[in-house]
Amino acid sequence: LVPVFVDRISNISRRDRWDEVVEVTAVGSGDSHFAALSSSLAFLQFAGFPLRLLTPQSHRYDTMRCVHRTDGKSMLLATSTSGRTPGVLRALAEAVEQGALTVAITGAPDTPATSMAVASIVPELPDLERSPGIRTYQASLICHLLVAIGLGEARGLVSPTEADGLRHALAGTAAPMEAVLDGILVQCAVIARAFANASLATVLGSGPNLGSARYAAAKLVEGTALFATGQDIEEWWHIERFADPVDSPLVLLAAPGHSQARAMEIAEAGRALRRFVVSVGPEGDPANGHAQAHLAVARTDHEVFSPLLYGLFAPLLAARVAQLLGRSPFQGDRPEIHARLTAYRQRANRPQF
């Protein structure tokens, strides 16, 4: 996907004068929102300004601040895999009316989103998996990361040589991603029993991997109907550590970076609180010693790209838990829900469960 996106982004960045952009707002729901959240550090580091994150509903409550500049220096990244999410389309319409640059990130070329936006980036993925979004999330995340690099290059904050190096490094995450998948298949099957016996699970992450934590929790909910939530590492310590049941699974995304030391402390504290602690991080990570289970993740030189690695365990774990519980994605094992899902997916031309 990286070369395809690079060519498309390069063409539209020159045409639409990305060198003049001074603010970017990202709007999306579910995985689309998590992809933007996971890319927020990249915008700060490469583009030189924070990414403003809104869901379609929060966008409606943010009218005063969401008035885009009328000089073409505001950008709206509107992400919707279907290209038809009503709230995203509403945000697009408002941004177009206000004169902002609008970029639609969507999974199909001929959708309301692509027809409304000034530009669009469309990863057309063949043979979509019969599961909650996995490759569609990865494609959205890659696209957001490349937009951040493209903005940095257009604004002169990243040299062309540096930008090419970052793109090469991003494409190079494919190999460690394969290594992660090969290494965690067995462990996911082993720890699935603890999740199948639980009434809830929590996934913790910080920085770019707060988005990974929320994405991982979403895959558990969508795939197994187990209630799961993604939370910031520090916020969990302040609030949710007091919640029952005390033995519920706690997954810690301990990526190298600013949050790793705190993740180690929380792993130790979680174990003391009788949580079933699973650490996700490189081999030799200090948090591993305090966890009942560990899912190994290859190291990356760029923390901003780590979300591509740290969300990989979630659909594999969810699949194993669903098998143990005899459940189908989106509660499709319930006849009345299965009928509605089938009708929806036929309308959307998506694979059936």
pLDDT tens sequence across 59-100 = 666 654 555 555 668 999 999 988 999 999 999 998 888 888
Residue 267 predicted with pLDDT over 50: yes
* 349: pLDDT strictly greater than 80: no
Output the pLDDT for position 64: 44
The winner for highest mean pLDDT among 116-125, 202-211, 343-352 is 202-211
Q: Is the dihedral of CA 149, 154, 155, 158 positive or negative?
A: positive
| pLDDT category of residue 341 using cuts at 50, 70 and 90 | low
What's the average model confidence in pLDDT over 281-301? 83
For residues 8-34, average pLDDT: 93
Instruction: Identify the band that residue 30 occupies on the pLDDT scale cut at 50, 70 and 90.
Output: very high
Please tell me the distance from the alpha carbon of residue 281 to that of residue 274, in angstroms, as a whole number.
21
| Mean of pLDDT values over 212-217 | 98
How much is the average pLDDT of 309-336?
A: 91
**Rg (alpha carbons) of the chain, rounded to whole number:** 20
SS3 248: coil
**What is the mean predicted confidence (pLDDT) over 123-136?**
79
- Residue 336: predicted pLDDT: 74
Percent of the chain exceeding pLDDT 70 equals 90
The pLDDT of residue 331 is 82
pLDDT of res. 97: 87
Mean of pLDDT over the chain: 89
Percentage of the chain exceeding pLDDT 90: 69
Task: Check whether 189 has a pLDDT greater than 90.
Answer: yes
pLDDT for residue 66: 52
CA terminus-to-terminus distance, the chain:
26
If pLDDT is split at 50, 70 and 90, which confidence band does 353 have?
very low
* Residue spans of alpha helices (H) in the chain: 2-15, 31-38, 40-42, 56-60, 86-98, 112-116, 135-154, 160-171, 174-196, 209-224, 233-238, 260-272, 307-310, 313-325, 335-347
Of the listed ranges 133-137, 286-290, 303-307, the one predicted with least confidence: 286-290
Instruction: Give the whole-angstrom CA distance, residue 283 versus residue 100.
Output: 45
> In the 8-state DSSP scheme, what is residue 40?
H
